[in-house]
Structure 1
């Protein structure tokens, strides 16, 4: 019997960590992982969009996961996102992750070509059955062009390995639909950070998010307020968090570049973003400092 308890709570999507030459910085990876461990989040989602996976090769992605597991393996729930341009590369990443002892695998649909549902089913099935690890479908139609159907979900759930969905579609109704499938109980993670409370109210038992890592204490607080039934306080905090998220997206540099600037002010330097993402500009520094101060004030 597979247990879902270890996936509940707040799980930040892990950021890419580079040195001054733009190569993977193992020391920075381990420092960032340990920071999240100390803060008290449930686990980490490694190698996804926030990890700039599309701009890293297979060996780099393996290296990142190795350093995460070296730092916090066995101490946190680790989900490894293993989707890659080809099925063979994805299976290779899945098998490597299994050797490291991660808790689960996840994957978006195949990229770029807009494949039909039968091809997507085959892709996910080959990854899911490559190991005996838990497998989580990642539904993010606004970037992949495919919106997970209940029909395909129920087919996939017949595989023992498939335990849930990371749902980043904007309609919170999707969370309710996926939770109420006719095959088995599953874990559904809320994806859009701006609707954390809405997702939890519609049945998501946990959240995986790209901005959690910039303000993990605030999302832990938000989750606690929801679980305590303090919905008015939760609503107010969600509004403040959303203002921060909008600010993170307002710079000349990419949002991840702004987030890395915020982390740098915490004493955690994980380098710059990889092109074609734009780095933070000189004019973004005031924004970064303002966002950092807002987060610190809300943490107190």
Structure 2
């Protein structure tokens, strides 16, 4: 199966004391499905995986697996600076989700595509029954490597390679990856702020954190673009960008975005250090600014 349309990079729900609150994941999944989100990318950057223990990541995987259905494709990010941990997480996920993904080790950074392929090959082999995605996010991983070169090597060495979660604004590299071997691989676009740019390149699948909050605005952008209403689509994209900026200005997008989920009916709880969750008053200010921006009708319901 190849998932298309929007995939939400999901948060790790927590109780007020900072412990995991996996009980909310069932209603979280129902919320996403209601808003026409077709997939989940769990335990990723939005999910604060670096602030979780290995056991907590496993608990999140297990909780999402209990919601598994044809309506929601589950991708579990299992990457870790420790190859041993990444392989353990991949094996744990092998009978629970639809696919796995890894980003590059981000402390001792990789300096070649060959080393990246070696790392991915080891992890992918720990769950050989699952499609495997490489999570390309050089801004955070430090692995600013060419993805076309990665595909050329990996395509011959990783039998279950399915594609790339491409979170970078290098659109040339993205397009070349998308066209590689006649479009054989599923290259998921992962840069929400330039969603509209991906449409002209033929993107059909996207992974992002704001698909939790404003999924309807992206489907509207796509609809307008397809009808040739480029100016209107661009205006909505600008509003989506401003949404990110407003939340970021209130204390940092990751923490503020997670807390904002409560205003949409899904209480994901507080964020862990170094992210912070603002007060109720701040969220009231945010809603006022979003009202002035004119996008309240585009919030996920």
State TM-score, norm by structure 2. 0.90
How many residues matched?
A: 294
Q: Is the 8 A contact 2:167 2:190 kept in 1?
A: yes
Alignment CA distance shift 1:121-1:183 (3 Å): farther
- Give the deviation of 1:186 after TM superposition: 1.1
Say yes or no: does 1:135 pair with 2:132: yes
Residue 211 (structure 1) aligns with: 210
Say yes or no: does 1:147 pair with 2:144: yes
- Give the deviation of 1:122 after TM superposition: 1.3
Alignment CA distance shift 1:227-1:188 (3 Å): farther
Residue 90 (structure 2) aligns with: 94
In 2, Cα distance between equivalents of 1:227 and 1:93: 40
Alignment CA distance shift 1:279-1:299 (3 Å): closer
- Give the deviation of 1:229 after TM superposition: 4.5
Alignment of 1:185-200 (within 5 A): 185-200=184-199
Moved over 6 A (4+): none
In 2, Cα distance between equivalents of 1:122 and 1:272: 37
**3-state DSSP of counterpart to 1:213:** coil
Q: Is the 8 A contact 2:256 2:276 kept in 1?
A: no
Alignment CA distance shift 1:10-1:79 (3 Å): same
Residue 237 (structure 2) aligns with: 238
Question: What is the Cα-based RMSD across aligned positions, in Å?
Answer: 2.1
- Give the deviation of 1:91 after TM superposition: 1.1
Ranges in structure 1 where 5+ consecutive residues have no aligned partner: none
Residue 13 (structure 2) aligns with: 17
**3-state DSSP of counterpart to 1:30:** helix
- Of the candidates 25, 37, 43, which is equivalent to residue 33 of structure 2? 37
In 1, Cα distance between equivalents of 2:75 and 2:161: 13
**3-state DSSP of counterpart to 1:136:** strand
Alignment CA distance shift 1:20-1:282 (3 Å): closer
- Give the deviation of 1:46 after TM superposition: 0.9
**Worse-superposed segment, 284-293 or 243-252:** 284-293
Q: Is the 8 A contact 1:137 1:166 kept in 2?
A: yes
In 1, Cα distance between equivalents of 2:222 and 2:155: 27
| Per-residue CA distance 1:79-128 (angstroms, 9 max, x = gap) | 1111012111111111111121x111111111111123233221111111
Alignment CA distance shift 1:287-1:112 (3 Å): farther
Residue 48 (structure 2) aligns with: 52
Alignment CA distance shift 1:298-1:279 (3 Å): closer
Alignment CA distance shift 1:164-1:291 (3 Å): farther
Alignment CA distance shift 1:119-1:15 (3 Å): same
In 2, Cα distance between equivalents of 1:64 and 1:81: 11
**3-state DSSP of counterpart to 1:180:** helix
- Give the deviation of 1:35 after TM superposition: 0.7
**Worse-superposed segment, 8-17 or 262-271:** 262-271
Q: Is the 8 A contact 1:10 1:41 kept in 2?
A: yes
- Give the deviation of 1:221 after TM superposition: 2.5
State TM-score, norm by structure 1. 0.90
Q: Is the 8 A contact 1:83 1:109 kept in 2?
A: yes
**3-state DSSP of counterpart to 1:85:** coil
Residue 171 (structure 2) aligns with: 172
Ranges in structure 2 where 5+ consecutive residues have no aligned partner: none
Q: Is the 8 A contact 2:270 2:276 kept in 1?
A: no
Residue 77 (structure 1) aligns with: 73
In 1, Cα distance between equivalents of 2:298 and 2:117: 44
| Per-residue CA distance 1:275-298 (angstroms, 9 max, x = gap) | 121222576334332356454234
Alignment CA distance shift 1:285-1:38 (3 Å): closer
